[in-house]
């Protein structure tokens, strides 16, 4: 979120609401710092439905999650929803209107439990073992089917991040974050302007226009 605030005044002027589940967390702090004119709302979603013991959501929980997002979308007239460091489940939204930024390559370094430092730790292990030489920053659409993992949507952009000289997962995190700050606002702007689109249908490609 800091990326969009600091680097893209155009995108900032179109932000309607920031959503978080931590009332006093980093997102709320950034909102307070940058929302000087009071034009951007902050919504804190509390008591988000939890998974059952088998790791799945009950039908009731799924319905509650769908209702949360649909009410937010209707209340603020949202066209696109950008996820940045957001790890709560997404249900009930159009797949071609939800975009996530992931701090690593998808596939082996994506999926349930693979977020934040968990990604960097796994990347570091494989780099230390000589299996890989780079990480990545990936922006992708988020699938709408409730049986799909959030990280299985089509990739919009995946930019390699060299690991040469990294000595810890923390070093990898810093490099990945720097790349996120470079590309997130740019890709987001292209989506807002309609230069990057996806039909939302599985198997169909992401389209890019000049």
Distance CA 97, CA 81 (A): 6
Note the pLDDT tens digit of each residue in 57-97. Answer: 899 999 999 999 999 999 999 999 999 888 888 888 998 99
pTM higher than the cut 0.95: no
| Predicted confidence (pLDDT) at residue 25 exceeds the cutoff of 90 | no
| Predicted confidence (pLDDT) at residue 9 exceeds the cutoff of 70 | no
- What range does the domain containing 109 cover? 2-208
Query: In CATH, what number is assigned to the domain containing residue 186?
Result: 3.40.50.170
Report the domain count for the chain: 1
> Percentage of the chain with pLDDT > 90?
57
């Amino acid at each position: 979120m800091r990326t969009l605030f600091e680097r893209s005044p155009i995108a900032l002027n179109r932000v309607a609401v920031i959503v978080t589940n931590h009332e006093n967390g980093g997102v709320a702090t950034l909102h307070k710092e940058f929302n000087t004119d009071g034009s951007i709302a902050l919504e804190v979603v509390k008591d988000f439905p939890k998974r059952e013991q088998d790791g799945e959501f009950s039908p009731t929980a799924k319905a509650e999650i769908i209702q949360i997002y649909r009410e937010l979308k209707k209340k603020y007239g949202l066209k696109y929803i950008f996820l940045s460091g957001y790890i709560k489940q997404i249900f009930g939204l159009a797949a071609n209107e939800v975009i996530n930024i992931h701090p690593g390559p998808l596939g082996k370094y994506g999926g349930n439990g693979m977020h934040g430092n968990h990604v960097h730790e796994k990347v570091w292990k494989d780099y230390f073992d000589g299996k890989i030489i780079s990480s990545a920053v990936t922006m992708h659409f988020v699938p709408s089917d409730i049986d799909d993992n959030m990280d299985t949507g089509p990739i919009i952009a995946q930019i390699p991040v060299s690991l040469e000289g990294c000595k810890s997962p923390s070093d990898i995190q810093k490099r990945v974050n720097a790349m996120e700050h470079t590309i997130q606002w740019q890709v987001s702007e292209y989506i807002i302007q309609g230069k990057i689109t996806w039909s939302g249908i599985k198997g169909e490609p992401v389209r890019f226009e000049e």
